C-alpha cells in the first residue's frame, strides 16, 4: 500500500502545519491494509470528551475498547442491578463513527463486586458462583450480540510469579481452575459468531510467557472456543522486549491463534513496579516531572521506539488483528495515576490533543528514508 511521508507532504501542502496535517492523516488510514488501530475510551460518550478530542479520535482510530464501562463493577454492581448507560453510549458512538468495538472484560479479578462470591454471610458455593457467572456473561454478551467484534473473555488470570501457574483470585478459589474454560463456553453460547480472546500483560516474555503457552495450549486441546490472544503492551521506555515480542507472536500463531496488542502505551518515567498489576502502588516522586531538553530527549527516544514497534508489527501483520492504544492522549493515560500520581507522556498525542514526535514516527515507520541528495 502507499505510505505517507509527512516531510514530503509538508512541502506539497505548503501552508499546513504538522499539527494540521495530522488532522488529515489518520493512523487508521496509514495502517488500513495491515491491522486496525484502536483506542480505549472512558466515561460517557461523547459527553466526557471535548469536541477537539472527539475530532482527533474519529480521525485517527477505527476501533474502540471500553476502558471500564463493560467491566462487571460497572454493568453489574449488584446481583439484580444492571447499568448499561455508558456501555450503550460507547457502542452507539462506535456505530455512528464506523468503528469496531472490542469488548473488555467479562471475567477479571479486579473491578468485580464481592457479591459474586458471597451467599449471605457465607462464601458462595461453586454452583452458585457458576450460575452468577453464566447469567452475567450471557446478559452482557447477549445484549451486544452482533455489535461486538471480539470479547476479552478472561483478563489477567496468569500469576506474575514463577511458583504458581494461575493467579490466586476469588474466581479460582470459588470455582476452580476450570472457571476459564467455563467462561469461554458461556460467551460462545451467548454469541456463537463473536471472537473470543484471552488478555494479559507480560505474556510475551519470561516465565509468564511459558505459563501463557500452557494455558492457551490447554484451552485449544480441550476444544475451548478461543480465537485470539491479547498482549497488553504496557512497556517501559528503553526496555521494550522486541525479540521476545516476535517470538511470542510466532508461538501464539503456532497454536492457531490470532494476536492483538490491546493496551499499548510507553511509560517514559522510571518505576520499580514491573508489569501492569493495578494493585501495585508506589510513593509519588515529584522529581520525576519532565520538561525542557530532558522531555525533548525522552520524546525523541519514545518516537524511535514506537517506530521500531510498528515496523515489527508490520512484519507480522498476517497474524495481528489490531493495535489498540490505552487512551487517546497523554492527559487520558492511566499512567498518570498508576503506580503513583505523576505527569506521564505515554501516548502519541499530548494533553492539548496535538501529535507528538511519536505520532509522526509511527506514521512514517514504514516509509524508506530519502536517498542522499534528495
Q: Count other Cβ atoms within 10 Å, centred on residue 59.
A: 16
In the set 53, 86, 195, 263, the catalytic residue is 263
Length of the chain equals 374
Place of cell 491463534: 257
Contact (Cβ atoms closer than 8 angstroms) between residue 209 and residue 231: no
Question: 224 vs 4, 6, 132, CA distance in Å?
Answer: 41, 46, 20
Q: Closest Cα to residue 107, out of 63, 39, 172?
A: 172
What is d(CA 113, CA 170) in angstroms, rounded to the nearest whole number? 11
> What nine digits make up the cell of 72?
462487571
Of the listed 156, 195, 204, 321, which one is catalytic?
156
Q: Alpha-carbon distance 194 to 217, whole Å?
A: 21
Per DSSP, the residues of 270-299 read --S--S--TT------GGG---HHHHHHHH
Catalytic residue at 263? Answer: yes
Nearest to 302 by CA among 263, 330, 339, 337: 330
- β-strands 258-267, 122-123: how paired? unpaired
Residue written as grid cell 455489535: 147
Cα distances (Å, whole numbers) of residue 273 to 173, 234, 248, 276, 340: 26, 12, 22, 8, 10
86 annotated active-site: no
| Active site residues per annotation | 156, 263
Amino acid at each position: 500500500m502507499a505510505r505517507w511521508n509527512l516531510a514530503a507532504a509538508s512541502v506539497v501542502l505548503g501552508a499546513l502545519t504538522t499539527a494540521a496535517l495530522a488532522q488529515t492523516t489518520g493512523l487508521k488510514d496509514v495502517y488500513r491494509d495491515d491491522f486496525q488501530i484502536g483506542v480505549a475510551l472512558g466515561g460517557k460518550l461523547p459527553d466526557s470528551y471535548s469536541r477537539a478530542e472527539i475530532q482527533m479520535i474519529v480521525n485517527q482510530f477505527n476501533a474502540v475498547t471500553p476502558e471500564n464501562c463493560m467491566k462487571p463493577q460497572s454493568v453489574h454492581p449488584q446481583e439484580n442491578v444492571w447499568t448499561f448507560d455508558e456501555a450503550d453510549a460507547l457502542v452507539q458512538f462506535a456505530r455512528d463513527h464506523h468503528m469496531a468495538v472490542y469488548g473488555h472484560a467479562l471475567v477479571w479479578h479486579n473491578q468485580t463486586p464481592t457479591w459474586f462470591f458471597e451467599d449471605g454471610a457465607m462464601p458462595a458455593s461453586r454452583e452458585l458462583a457458576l450460575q452468577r457467572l453464566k447469567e452475567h456473561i450471557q446478559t452482557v454478551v447477549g445484549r451486544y450480540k452482533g455489535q461486538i467484534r471480539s470479547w476479552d473473555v478472561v483478563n489477567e488470570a496468569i500469576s506474575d510469579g514463577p511458583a504458581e501457574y494461575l493467579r490466586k483470585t476469588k474466581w479460582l478459589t470459588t470455582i476452580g481452575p476450570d472457571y476459564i474454560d467455563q467462561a469461554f463456553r458461556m460467551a460462545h453460547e451467548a454469541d456463537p459468531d463473536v471472537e473470543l480472546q484471552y488478555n494479559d500483560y507480560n505474556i510475551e516474555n519470561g516465565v509468564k510467557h511459558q505459563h501463557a503457552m500452557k494455558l492457551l495450549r490447554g484451552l485449544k486441546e480441550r476444544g475451548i472456543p478461543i480465537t485470539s490472544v491479547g498482549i497488553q503492551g504496557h512497556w517501559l521506555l528503553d526496555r521494550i522486549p522486541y525479540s521476545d515480542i516476535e517470538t511470542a507472536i510466532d508461538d501464539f500463531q503456532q497454536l492457531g491463534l490470532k494476536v492483538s496488542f490491546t493496551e499499548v502505551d510507553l511509560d517514559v518515567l522510571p518505576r520499580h513496579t514491573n508489569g501492569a498489576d493495578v494493585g501495585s502502588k508506589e510513593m509519588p516522586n515529584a522529581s520525576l516531572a519532565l520538561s525542557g531538553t530532558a522531555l525533548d530527549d525522552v520524546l525523541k527516544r519514545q518516537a524511535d521506539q514506537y517506530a521500531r514497534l510498528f515496523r515489527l508489527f508490520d512484519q507480522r501483520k498476517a497474524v495481528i488483528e489490531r493495535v489498540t492504544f490505552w487512551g487517546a492522549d497523554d492527559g487520558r493515560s492511566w499512567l498518570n495515576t498508576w503506580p503513583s500520581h505523576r505527569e506521564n507522556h505515554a501516548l502519541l498525542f499530548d494533553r492539548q490533543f496535538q501529535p507528538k514526535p511519536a505520532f509522526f514516527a509511527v506514521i512514517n515507520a514504514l516509509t524508506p528514508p530519502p536517498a542522499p541528495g534528495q
